[in-house]
Amino acid sequence: MNGENWSHLVGNISNLLAPSMAKDHPNLPVVKAEGCYYYGVDGKEYLDFTSGIAVENVGHRHPKVVQAIKDSADHLVHGPSGVIIYESILRLADELGKITPGNLDCFFFANSGTEAIEGAIKLAKYVTRRPYVVSFTGCFHGRSMGALSVSTSKSKYRKFQQPSWLTYQLPYADERDCPFGEDPEEYFPRKLEKDAETLFKHQVDPEEVACMIIEPVLGEGGYIIPPKKWLQKIREICDRHGILLIFDEVQTGFGRTGEWFAAQAFDVVPDIMAIAKGIAAGLPLSATAASKELMEKWPLGAHGTTFGGNPIACSAALASLEVLKTENLLENAKQMGEYALKKLHDLKAEHPAIGSVRGLGLMIGIEIIDPQTGKPDGNAVMDILNSSLDKGVLFYLCGNSGEVIRMIPPLVVTKEQIDQGLKVLEEVLTEHEAVVSKS
């Protein structure tokens, strides 16, 4: 495949595709992907530090995944689960149950992270017979109406949508907001108790709250890593009031944080979990995970899907799980994440445009600020991303004002590739700061 037959269409993107998606960064025309690289229509090789937005955890087009897709297509392309049943979906459910935290061993398969969130909220409301949901400010859970009602990473996602009023928010724990001299592991759990008490006294009785939903590591909202004891306090509050706890592990799952799921990194077992992205190495697949006890309370027809749990996608997921295990990619995520963070902290010491660096495994955020004001600088991030792309490295952005660079390479990434990518970032930061100092 090459770009000769379609490259003339690139300049017409916004007329062919909905601008709400087509105007995203950077619209890089590619003809192929392999491992940690994209290959452009322009003939250039691009180091991918986005993993297709935390999807290609085993690398682009891993040979075992590609072969599993081909083998599956020889037998079955579509299977409306329940109308028929097939091996790959049963085997996948069995294998997932071996790596999910606690007793989350029963699965409803869907196609996207948003669908997994919708399923999780529906399950919680059905089981508890309670109407309200509590989410956390800054979290992103998707853009369909149910998921949007608990998404607060950016107000623009909710504009003109009037998402459900049956939701309330509590503040997410950001260690940058910890008062000087306080221990975040002690301060934020204490603050959460007060915030929850105020919410329950003045806005919603806890006996009417079906669930709390949270990203254990803030994703699109800025790659914020909360204190461990704060997440454990959320679990405690939920248990106290009979509230179900939902973890949105769409972005943090399948080794991204160095554990199978972030729940295991924080020693917290949720009641329900939404998983997607890295589950099937690029094929559309997601799951709402819960215990059999909870799932059994959901009767036939209470939730359904036509395409969820597609047999080819399930086969790709099985192959991806095998690769993650046999190639020790969770351990590689830990080691390469620590290596990258150390190098980034060294960069921060030399570059005043870096406000903070934070990460868990290979889920790393690099905050960019105006060196003179110290304020987040989303415009600078776009300049840095574009210049990095010109030099052959693809990063992505996040944060409320787009002020954070996401560094989320495939879990197969090597030290040499991290060095390559961060060398480019250093060059671009130097150029950026030189321009800023002259202005």
Residue-wise pLDDT tens digits, 247-276 = 999 999 999 999 999 999 999 999 999 999
Alpha carbon distances (Å) from 12 to 40, 44, 202, 326:
18, 22, 52, 44
Measure the CA–CA gap between 111 and 46, rounded to whole angstroms. 28
pLDDT attached to residue 21: 79
State the Cα–Cα distance between residues 380 and 401, nearest whole angstrom. Answer: 11
Regions of the chain where pLDDT drops below 50:
none
Identify which of 81, 65, 85 has the alpha carbon closest to the alpha carbon of residue 73: 65
Taking CB atoms within 8 Å and a gap of at least 24, the contacts of 194-200 are 195/170, 195/171, 196/170, 196/237, 199/134, 199/168, 199/170, 200/241
Predicted confidence at residue 41, as pLDDT, reads 92
pLDDT at 3: 59
CA dihedral angle for residue 238, residue 157, residue 277, residue 169, rounded to 10 degrees? -10
Q: pTM of the prediction? A: 0.96
Tell me the HSE value of 298 on the side-chain side, using a 13 A CA sphere.
Answer: 23
Asked if 317 and 280 touch (Cβ cutoff 8 Å), the reply is yes
d(C-alpha 165, C-alpha 153), whole Å: 17
Answer whether 25's CB lies under 8 Å from 382's CB: yes
Nearest to 175 by CA among 194, 154, 189: 189
Q: For residues 88 and 178, what is the distance between their CA atoms, to the nearest angstrom? A: 47
pLDDT digits (tens, 9 = 90+) for 114-123: 999 999 999 9
